[in-house]
Amino acid sequence: MTDPVGQNPTAEPAILQLKNLRKSFGALKATDDVSLTLRRGEIHALIGPNGAGKSTLMRQIAGGMKSDSGTVHFAGHDVTPLSTVARARAGLGRTFQISSLAMEYTVLQNVMLGALGHEGGAMRFFRPVMARTDLIEQAMQALQRVGLENHAAKRTSDLSHGQRRQLEVAVALTLSPKVFLMDEPMAGLGASGSKRMTGFLDGLRSEAPILLVEHDMDAVFALADRISVLVYGRIIASGTAEQIKADPVVREAYLGAEDVA
Amino acid sequence: MRRETLLNIVLFALLPATALAAWMLDEPFIITLATKAAILALAGVGLNIALGLGGLISFGHAAFFGLGGYAMGILASHAQSYAPLMESPFLIEGTKSMPVIWLVAIVTSALAALAIGALSLRTSGVYFIMVTLAFGQMLFYFTISWPAYGGEDGLSIYVRNGFPGLNTLDPLTFFGVAFAVLALVLWGAGRLAKSAFGLALSAARQNPERVETVGLAPYRLRLVAFVISGAITGLAGALFADLNRFVSPTMFSWQTSGEIMVFVILGGVGRLFGPVAGAALFILLEHVLGGLSEFWHIYLGLILLLVVLFARGGIVGTIAGREVAHD
């Protein structure tokens, strides 16, 4: 199999592979012939200015949006025709840019939902779910890993913006996915929170590779094994942090020549 | 003890206390009213699973209420005329036994809910409301134009159906039967709300995208909820028919769907004992206001308006405060 991005054909095989994905809204090309891979053990960051089509691309991968053409291969299967639910079951663990949580629930209940999903279904009608100590243990473990264990009993709508991002990550953790798709997990975290999350994601890549959309460039340059730059729906450059920093096209189109030290 | 738990105990005790007091005062009509409240509350408990837990605004639950009613009417009318329902390929006879009638009512309305839900749950919002309404109206006009079982005039059953070992002709005994069914279903609905299914269903109401992302399908959760909901309302329909010893197409009318929805909204959407409070208040108003004026529905409408505008949690929500979803 050829590596469409073509950096390193001898490296780990790709667990997630996008081939020629396209999506248009009228005349606007939100995703324009995007191909990229995610290999085991890596963090592949996707950066680009606002409106570059990062979130649209994430939705095409996770299943919330049908592509006009192109395919998504995941863990050796073509998942392009599959629904969001089926892709989640296959092992795509997603976090949202705008927190997507059950707001009336407590923090713990949101994570329990993930644990239920991981268990394979919710068609149990009689036993109180909050008496399932095994699931609660899984949920609390996930909360502990993102640093929310002291907020388990809080109502989700009472969480700060940053805490909601952490909760999104905790729910994804309970799914034990094969791949993480994370859309701006650092947004709203503040300096110390960002630092903690950066350290956490750094360790997480050995469990499952991460396709990371992020605006925090310090975090991106610290974490990413590879970076792809998306502008107007197109990948204009792809490479290591050093290559991207040095790329004149990227400097011109996105980073802004004077911003990069 | 939590305030809502306390309130639930009071609400739960209210109906049997009323029935007992009426029995001691020798007021059988009031026992009948308490029985009616218990049965209508049961219909509301059914709707509340779809509406409160699942967020499915069904405006067609009269379909299940009516199916339960006609399950009773058809079986009992064949039993009283000694004419079998069908003779080939196998013999099915009518029955006057409540447990059998209940089972038929539950199975029939569950199957109908499966078919109606499978289609209507592909839509959402106002379309879902309209599709469920349309199914209810279809059954309404079908029963009107179906002469075999009374058509527009409905079906009268001369003697109330029996329950093994009980004298159901005695008003207090029949109240006991209806109330026992309500209590059992309330217990089951309470367990359901706290179960894994309840957690996922309610999450699908709050945020379907979240539920999909953890690999659970909202459509399946909602369909199962709709079937359970329809089955309970169907059971209530069978009991209601037995209370009146009469069934008619009115049970299928959209006004019936609206009334069941009113019990839930008055009492508190998504609250376990909401429909009990709502149905009891409805019956009370019907008889207090109904005695004052023929146009008591105007006052009911006014009260409903006030509840929707100023007391969003209904009676239970206003007294017990913000919900603690699971504990």
Q: What is the pLDDT of residues B145-163, one digit of tens each?
A: 998 999 999 999 999 999 9
CATH dotted code for B3-320 = 1.10.3470
Cα distances (Å, whole numbers) of residue B26 to B19, B23, B172: 10, 5, 11
The reply to whether residue B326 touches residue A106, judged by beta carbons under 8 angstroms, is yes
* Phi, psi of B18, rounded to the nearest 5 degrees: -60, -45
Weakest-pLDDT range from A121-125, A176-180, B191-195, B257-261: A121-125
CB nearest to B207's CB, from A64, A102, A114 = A102
Q: The dihedral of CA A81, A84, A86, A87: what is its sign?
A: positive
Structure tokens at B47: 């709707």
CA–CA separation, B111 vs B116, rounded Å?
9
Selected for mutation to probe chain B from A65, A82, A104 (highest B CB count within 10 Å) is A104
State pLDDT tens for residues B10-24. Answer: 999 999 999 999 999
Distance of CA A88 to the CA centre of its chain: 12
Distance from CA of A131 to the nearest CA of B (A): 9
pLDDT of residue A261: 40
The proportion of chain A whose per-residue pLDDT surpasses 70, expressed as a percent, equals: 92
Helix (H) or strand (E) holding A237: strand A234-239
Please say whether the beta carbons of A48 and A254 come within 8 A.
yes
Residue A89, H or E segment: helix A84-90
The encoded tokens of residue A108 equal: 């713990």
**Residue from A100, A78, A89 nearest A21 by CA:** A78
Q: Which amino acid is at A170?
A: A
* Pick among B197, B207, B214, B323 to test the A interface (most A CBs inside 10 A): B214
The proportion of chain A whose per-residue pLDDT surpasses 90, expressed as a percent, equals: 79
Contact status of B24 with chain A (Cβ, < 8 Å): no
| Interface residue B209 vs chain A (CB under 8 A) | yes
Inform me whether the C-beta atom of residue A102 falls under 8 Å from chain B C-beta atoms. yes
Single out the residue of B37, B69, B56 nearest to residue B252, CA to CA.
Answer: B69
Nearest to B196 among A106, A114, A124 (CB): A124
| Cβ pair B207:A125 closer than 8 A | no
Within 8 A of A85 by CB-CB distance, chain B residues are: 212, 215-217
Residue A112 has its nearest CB partner, among B199, B207, B327, at B199
Residue A1: its pLDDT value, please?
Answer: 40
Please count the other Cβ atoms lying within 10 Å of the Cβ belonging to residue A146.
23
Residue B319 C-alpha, separation from nearest chain A C-alpha, in angstroms:
19
Rounded to a whole number, what is the distance in Å from the CA of A196 to chain B's nearest CA? 25
What pLDDT is recorded for position B291?
A: 84
Give the model's pLDDT for residue A150.
96
d(CA B179, CA B41): 10
Q: How many H-runs (helices) and E-runs (strands) does chain A carry?
A: 9, 10
Tell me which residue has tokens 């009676």: B315
Res A187: pLDDT = 87
Over its C-alpha atoms, chain A yields an Rg (Å, rounded) of 18
CA distance B11 to B2: 14
Q: Which of residues 172-211 of A touch B (CB under 8 A)?
A: 174-175
Q: Does B200 touch chain A (CB under 8 A)?
A: yes
pLDDT (tens digit, 9 = 90+) per residue, A62-103? 998 999 999 999 999 999 999 999 999 999 999 998 889 999
Task: Give the integer Cα–Cα distance in Å for B57 and B132.
Answer: 9
The answer to whether A96 contacts chain B (CB < 8 Å) is yes
At A97, is the secondary structure helix, strand, or coil? Answer: coil
pLDDT tens digit sequence for A187-216: 888 888 899 999 999 999 999 999 999 988
Whether the CB-CB separation of B221 and B49 falls below 8 Å is answered with no
pLDDT tens across A6-46, in order?
A: 455 455 679 999 999 999 999 999 999 999 999 999 999 99
Model pLDDT, residue A99:
87
Residues in chain B where the model's pLDDT stays below 70: 1, 322-327
A84 CA: distance to closest CA in chain B (Å)? 6
Per-domain boundaries in chain A = 1-91+177-261, 103-174
- Which residue of chain A comes nearest to B222, CA vs CA? A123
Query: Is residue A259's pLDDT more than 70?
Result: no
A1-91+177-261 carries CATH number 3.40.50.1110? no
Yes or no: say if B215 and A85 are a contact pair by the CB < 8 Å rule.
yes
Task: Scan residues 218-277 of B and list those with Cβ closer than 8 Å to A.
Answer: 221, 224
Angle between helices B274-292 and B28-48 (to 10 degrees): 130
Q: How many Å lie between the alpha carbon of A152 and the closest alpha carbon of chain B?
A: 12
Mark yes or no for CB contact B197/A117 under 8 Å. Answer: no
For residue range B93-131, what is the model confidence (pLDDT) as tens digits? Answer: 899 999 999 999 999 999 999 999 999 999 999 999 999
Q: What percent of chain B has pLDDT over 70?
A: 98
Q: Which of B268, B177, B185 is nearest to B229 (CA)?
A: B185
Rg (CA), chain B: 19
pLDDT at position B325? 47
User: B207 to chain A, minimum CA–CA distance in Å?
Assistant: 6
CA distances from residue B114 to A244, B56, B119, B227 in whole angstroms, order as listed = 56, 14, 9, 6
A234-239/A226-231 β-pairing:
antiparallel
What single letter denotes the amino acid at residue B9?
A: I
B214 contacts on A by Cβ (under 8 Å): 88, 113-114, 116-118, 171, 174-175
For residue A11, the model assigns a pLDDT of 56
> In the structure encoding, which two tokens stand for residue A142, read together?
């996930």
Do B237 and B250 contact (CB within 8 A), yes or no?
Answer: no
Comparing alpha-carbon positions, the chain A residue that sits nearest to B228 is A125
ipTM: 0.89
pLDDT of the residue at B296 = 87
